Amino acid sequence: MLSDECGEQRAVLAIDRGCCDLQSMRCGLCAGLAGEDLHAVRAVGRRYALRRGQAVAEVTGAGTYCANLTTGILQVLRPEVDGSRTIGLVFPGEIIGDLNGGRPSDDAIVAITDAEICIYQSVDLERVADRHPSVRRALLGSAFEALSQARRWMLVLSRPSARERVAAFLVEMAGRLRGVNADQNTLELGLSRGRIGDLLGLSLETTSRQMQALARAGLIAFPQRRQVRFVNRGGLEKVAGLAFRPPTGAAV
Amino acid sequence: MLSDECGEQRAVLAIDRGCCDLQSMRCGLCAGLAGEDLHAVRAVGRRYALRRGQAVAEVTGAGTYCANLTTGILQVLRPEVDGSRTIGLVFPGEIIGDLNGGRPSDDAIVAITDAEICIYQSVDLERVADRHPSVRRALLGSAFEALSQARRWMLVLSRPSARERVAAFLVEMAGRLRGVNADQNTLELGLSRGRIGDLLGLSLETTSRQMQALARAGLIAFPQRRQVRFVNRGGLEKVAGLAFRPPTGAAV
DNA sequence: CGACAAGTTGATGATGGTCAATCCTTGTGG
DNA sequence: CCACAAGGATTGACCATCATCAACTTGTCG
């Protein structure tokens, strides 16, 4: 286990007080808020910069925090008998932690790219939400959005064949990073083949082989090892078995 | 395709006005509400009885409804090129539909046991939530709960081997039905082997074989074909690879 | 009783996991 | 700047697992 990848120390660095600089306030929670409400939320949030490999120990600990990913990608690592397994990803705009202070989990949340998060104490956020109804509405919207994404992810995982799963994974990644990356056709994976295999329930070798096969079929290319360029997105979606689905979220 | 299983007509029957009879108001949304707030929610909800096989056409249609399952189990069916596939289950207390009026989906929601749901027009619920903050808080709680369950389900699906997935499926079903069934050790599946296979990304034959194997190993028994009796739950959890996880929800 | 769907079981081939060797990339230290 | 080390990625060989096809049994409903 890389110390790089699993520093359990509180490896975060406060860079600012107040969530979301006013230039780019598309961070899920703040999007949809304005004026007084936005100000109130900003007042209780604190922005942190995470370097690749650092853990969000604050969020995983007592469960009294709630955070909002602004930029970058995080992974959720679950300890297992033989090392840890990547069981989920977090994309910009998504919320991690739990307002309700649910059972604390022993999952680690680690940045797989440099990232920025806004951290709130749950109690603070609750207090703001009590006074500003639109804040709780925004939270509810984020939660529904997260739910919709989780259910889409379940579809990826229930694909029977490895080929379909890998293709669906790439399509899903591309969809989630829409608007984040400058180049719409190139995707920075950040994850090793092994971690992707964890996510998909496949071995790292099978993951690698399937990706190679997709590349040989002319659907994708690898400018660098952890970069994917989409050459034939339609074809990829067809392999993924998602060809005729609308590209984004669906109710229930 | 059974007409029994996929009646696309509006096959619901209003049995009452007002969600949740006051005796058993543990239906997720209403739990946690009281007095004036509870009354307001009940006023805009309508309770329906679904018979096994009936579809909740109202919810899937325009996306302007939001509903709350009181009793029974529903399945979410997604149309695919070759027939439909079961892609998810809904358990009592969970919320279906979308408040935000997200993109309407063409998934069908069908009862796999007799069931009761409370249906709300999203606009009604929104209006009530605006006036009663604790209603939106309850909605938020339900959404986080659903999210936590979806993420646990993802863990089931990312298990590599068929044996583990089937065992994890059974454990998960048992956990979700806690308190619903009188007999804690017997589980009414309601789903055919094929539908279970859909959910788990397995063929129906493999599903059957794995269940037989678990039975031969003395972990479960089948009093009836679609009933499971847990003989050795600890052993089953061990096979599922979930032995050392807490039994219920975890944040993120 | 007969028809039909679900479930079980067997045989066989394709897919994916495992083990192992090699290559590529990156970072480090002389 | 180069050599070297260490992970990650790729590829191959082999074998376990799972999907598929098919026959048969069980259960249900008319």
The residue that minimises its CA distance to C1' of D16 is B161
**Rounded CA separation B213/B196 (Å):** 16
Q: Scanning the structure block, which residue is given the tokens 């065992």?
A: B167
Domain identity same for A19 and A104: yes
Domain containing residue A169:
159-240
**CA–C1' distance B164–C7 (Å)?**
21
Other C-beta atoms within 10 Å of A123: how many?
14
Block mean pLDDT (10 aa), chain A, length 252: 34 48 57 80 84 73 75 85 83 79 72 86 87 86 85 88 95 81 80 94 96 95 92 92 42 30
Q: Which positions in chain B touch A200 (Cβ < 8 Å)?
A: 158
For tokens 């300890």, name the residue: A79
A225 closest CA partner among A213, A205, A208:
A208
pLDDT for B195: 93
Assigned token pair, B207: 């599903």
Question: CA of A228: how far to CAs of A176, A209, A225, in Å?
Answer: 14, 15, 8
B130 and B163: one domain?
A: no
Residues contacting residue B155 through CB under 8 Å, at least 6 positions apart = A78, A87, B168, B242
* CA–CA gap between residue A217 and residue A205 (Å, rounded): 18
Task: Return the CATH number at A209.
Answer: 1.10.10.10
Residue B151 within any structural domain of the chain? no
Same domain as A128, residue A33: yes
Same domain, B88 and B173: no
In a domain, B75, yes or no: yes
Measure the N-to-C terminal CA separation of chain B; round to a whole number of Å: 38
Number of separate domains in chain B: 2
Helix axes of A122-131 and A133-157: crossing angle, nearest 10 degrees: 120
Could you tell me which chain B residue has the CA closest to the CA of A65? B251
Task: With respect to residue A6, please indicate whether it lies within any of the assigned structural domains.
Answer: no
Residues A132 and A168 in one domain: no
On whether both A117 and A56 belong to a single domain, the answer is yes
Residues B32 and B129 in one domain: yes
Q: Which of A104, A139, A174 is the last residue of a domain?
A: A139
B62 touches chain A (CB under 8 A): no
Q: Is the CB of B111 under 7 A from strand D?
A: no
Per-residue pLDDT in tens (0 to 9) along chain B, 252 residues: 333 333 333 334 444 555 555 444 456 677 777 778 888 888 888 888 888 888 887 555 555 788 888 888 898 888 877 778 888 898 888 888 776 655 567 788 888 888 888 888 888 888 898 888 888 888 888 888 888 888 889 989 998 899 999 999 999 998 887 766 667 788 888 899 999 999 999 999 999 999 999 999 999 999 988 999 999 999 999 999 764 433 333 333
For chains A and B, CB pairs below 8 A equal 146
Tokens of B108: 């069908």
To 10 degrees, the CA torsion angle through A148, B148, B48, B84? Answer: 50
B222 close contact with A: CB closer than 8 A: no
Residues with CB under 7 A from strand C: A 161-163, 201-203, 205-206, 210, 224-225; B 2, 5, 160, 192-194, 204-205, 208-209, 211-212, 222, 225-226
The reply to whether B220 has its C-beta less than 7 Å from any atom of strand D is: no
Angle (deg, nearest 10), helices A35-44 and A133-157: 70
Asked if the Cβ of residue A2 lies within 7 A of any atom of strand D, the reply is yes
Whether residue A146 is contained in a domain is answered as no
Over its C-alpha atoms, chain B yields an Rg (Å, rounded) of: 18
Instruction: Please tell me the distance in Å from A155's CA to the nearest CA on chain B.
Output: 7
Q: Domain check: are B74 and B166 in the same one?
A: no
Cα dist from A107 to A65, A67, A76, A157, B137, whole Å: 14, 15, 6, 20, 26
**Does some domain include residue A5?**
no
Residues in A touching B163 (Cβ below 8 Å) = none
Residues paired with residue B66 on neighbouring β-strands, in sequence order = B97, B120
Picking from B86, B104, B137, the residue at the C-terminal end of a domain is: B137
Tell me, in Å, how far CA of A86 is from C1' of C13? 33
Q: Considering the domain boundaries, does residue A151 fall inside one? A: no
Is A227 a domain residue? yes
Asked whether residue B120 falls in the same domain as residue B168, the answer is no
Strands, sheet with B65-71, edge to edge from the N-terminal-most edge strand: B13-17, B46-50, B115-121, B65-71, B95-97
- Domain shared by A23 and A104, yes or no: yes
CATH of the domain at B102: 2.60.120.10
Task: With beta carbons less than 8 A apart as the criterion, state whether B109 and B55 touch.
Answer: yes
Same domain for B111 and B19: yes
B61 and B166, same domain (yes or no): no
Residue A251 lies in a domain: no
Structure confidence at residue B179 (pLDDT): 62
